Chain A
Amino acid sequence: MTMQKKKTIFTTVVLAALLAACVIVDLTLPSFHIAVTVIKKATVYALVAASMNLLNGFTGLFSLGQAGFMLLGAYAYGVLTIPVAKRASVYQYFDGGAIQFSLPEIFAGFLGDGVGGVVGMLAALLVGGILAALMAYLIGLPVLRLKSDYLAIATLGFAEILRAFFQWNALGPITNGSNLLKSYPTFSKATPYVVLAGVMIAVILLLINSTYGRAFKAIRDDEVAAEAMGINLARHKRLAFVISSFFAGIGGGMMAMYMGTIAAAPFKSSLTYEILLIVVIGGIGSISGSVIASFLYIFSSEWLLRGLDSGEFLGISAPGLFKNGFRMAVFSVIIMVIVLFFRRGIMGDKELPDLLDRRERKHKKEAAGK
């Protein structure tokens, strides 16, 4: 059996097992169970981390605007899916808001309640992604000419400007100003999240393995050499930025679904930092690393280490030490250790199926030794 075939089988088996596990969790546990919450949040983070990795890890553009694009996606999703009947109560300070339609209801009109609702929600996610991509195109025009840390700070600045705009009262009829958006439809089960994010991440992976992906990597490794090989720098950078933002926008929409309410406040630069640190833990330049790191991060912060915040952990009871916030303090120390001493993260720049390679080589070495 060739290596390639082995890898394909391995990947299929892993993915099928994960999906099956998720379906089983959904069938056996109620939707408010912590396991379901963890899966939902982790898939959202995995998608956003993968999109950030595409830009920071594969194209070498150090952008910190992720939170801004997520904000766009989240608001687009909320604004387009709140049922018309509930708009009056959500937009109570803005006379029911300016938009008087809801995508799920429009699609439900001719596709039936069940299918139409889902199609409408997906369409709203897509609109969010497209808006984020458009915004990225516009922002990219001036910003992508900048290098490394200037680019980082400019994208960070744009994200903050966006956040200020969304809280502006004059835009209230659409964004509800600084009030919450709520009452929009969400998926209560975990499987839709996993399938959605899975498909998106698969698209990112396909892109990375295409000619475009190779061009991105060439730009990352050496801009001048890449340009000499005939790669159009400006075009490819813009492409990477727009695509990454598109997925960040969709991730933002899914985040809105997961959270149940939308406000501009959670989309601060600290959200970007959190995702960046996940990417680093997983390995800059490894999509499967980002996914694994997201699950590890969310699993331990939401579930495993909960005890550190509430007084009891691993059977040790120390309410004085294990008080609110200790979990994140421990967590950030671990992150610093990874950043300083294990700079390659969990996966380095390898993907999950590549792990098979190493075993193969070891076997060969052993055979040669005999």
Chain B
Amino acid sequence: MQEMFPYFLNGISVGGQYALIAIGYTLVYGILRLINFAHGDVFMVAGLVMVYATASMPFYIALPLVVLATVVLGFLIERVAYKPLRSAPRMSLMISAIGVSYLIQNMAFYITGGVPQPVSNPIPWISENVTILGASTKRVTIITPILTILLVVALVYLINHTKIGMAMRAAAKDFETAQLMGIKINKVISMTFIIGSFLAAVGSMLYFTNYPSVAITSGGMPGLKAFVAAVFGGIGSIPGAVVGAFIIGLCEEVIKGLGYTTFSDAFTFALLIVVLCVKPTGLFGEKVTDKV
């Protein structure tokens, strides 16, 4: 038990980071019915911007800048790549998402020269070591889940108690009717992407302080896993995404702790397939009926 404890701690922390990404997937899917394949790459870009920004300016300027840059990127992706395809079949939208992901990765390759960018203590205080119940870990491991829960509570409040939140719920329920009721659908969709990117930026900063470097492909795996978390929790549901992310993060780290590192990725996908086959609507998802 004692030697497994650090893995539990890590698992909760990784789970928090996945949760922050997973919300971006689940919000967008809820409204557009689109798997935003580019979301993982947005996450990676946030990491890269953090590396560049913290190297040239103090962190209290750099970090808001990272958030701003990521939000702008998310907004632009929606405007350029998804908005023109609003009336196109869903397959085109998905292809466009894959195209964007390809574009971002290639651009990042060009800018970084294909070399993983080393992360060197970007945020001073949180990467210091602390000891909890005999397990030594970085402070960020403790901060992540707390910050995640706070952000999620804020988001749930936003969705349930503000006007834009109500508009988002309406758009997720029925796109066309929401439009007829005078909801400016483009504004709502932009807002979803902005929120998603904001959370991804926070998640990215927490995630990459724990890693030695940011490579152009480092967004792929966390992105996919966060997506699995969103499906597991029931896509479209925010609490679902968070619970799913924590479960996946924990399981992964425990599997690593047991010595099957190769399979920690495979486990996530196996879970996905089991969930899709047994309960495609996930833990908290709504039941959908097929209409002809």
Contact = CB atoms under 8 A, between A and B. Distances in A.
Given A62-B91, A325-B113, A149 B99 contact: no
11 contacts: A152-B94, A157-B269, A268-B220, A269-B220, A273-B98, A273-B101, A325-B113, A329-B107, A329-B109, A332-B103, A340-B81
Given A62-B94, A145-B277, A148-B91, A335 B228 contact: no
Interface centre among B92, B95, B100, B262, by most chain A C-beta atoms within 10 angstroms, is B95
Given A158-B273, A332-B106, A343-B92, A277 B113 contact: no
Nearest to A339: B99
Contacts of A341: 84
A324 B111 CA distance: 9
Given A164-B266, A270-B102, A343-B88, 14 more contacts: A146-B280, A149-B94, A152-B35, A152-B94, A157-B228, A160-B266, A167-B262, A277-B98, A323-B110, A323-B113, A331-B106, A339-B95, A339-B99, A340-B81
Contact of A160 (B34, B99, B103, B269): B269
B173 interface: no
Interface of A: 56, 62, 142-143, 145-146, 148-150, 152-154, 156-158, 160-161, 164-165, 167-169, 224, 268-270, 273-274, 276-277, 280, 284, 323-326, 328-329, 331-333, 335-336, 339-341, 343
B106 A339 contact: no
A343 B114 CA distance: 30
A161 B274 CA distance: 13
Interface in B136-167: none
Interface residues of B, number: 47
A301 B109 CA distance: 15
Nearest to B84: A340
Contact of B280 (A150, A158, A277): A150
A148 B268 CA distance: 20
Interface string B208-229: 0000000001001000100110
B103 A336 contact: yes
Contacts of B107: 329, 332
Interface centre among B80, B99, B109, B224, by most chain A C-beta atoms within 10 angstroms, is B99
A270 B103 contact: no
A336 B110 contact: no
Interface of B: 33-35, 80-81, 84-85, 88, 90-92, 94-96, 98-103, 105-107, 109-111, 113-114, 217, 220, 224, 227-228, 231, 262-263, 265-266, 268-270, 272-273, 276-277, 280, 292
B273 A143 contact: yes
B200 to A, nearest CB: 18
Contacts of B103: 329, 332-333, 335-336
Nearest to A333: B103
Given A153-B272, A156-B224, A164-B263, A142 B277 contact: yes
Contacts of A269: 220, 224
Contacts of B80: 340
B113 A336 contact: no
B106 A329 contact: yes
A125 B106 CA distance: 32
Given A332-B99, A339-B92, A340-B81, A169 B262 contact: yes
A277 B37 CA distance: 14
A164 B265 contact: yes
Nearest to A308: B110
Contacts of B262: 164, 167-169
B273 A160 contact: no
Contacts of A333: 103
Contacts of A165: 266
Nearest to A309: B110
Nearest to A146: B276
B102 A277 contact: yes
Contacts of B224: 156-157, 160, 269
Contact of A326 (B33, B101, B110): B110
B95 to A, nearest CB: 6
Nearest to B37: A273
A339 B96 contact: yes
A157 B105 contact: no
Contact of A142 (B94, B109, B113, B273): B273
A323 B112 CA distance: 11
A153 B265 contact: no
B98 A150 contact: no
A347 B100 CA distance: 23
A158 B292 CA distance: 30
Interface centre among B81, B84, B106, B277, by most chain A C-beta atoms within 10 angstroms, is B106
A333 B85 CA distance: 17
B273 to A, nearest CB: 5
B235 to A, nearest CB: 9
A341 B88 CA distance: 11
Given A62-B94, A273-B101, A157 B88 contact: no
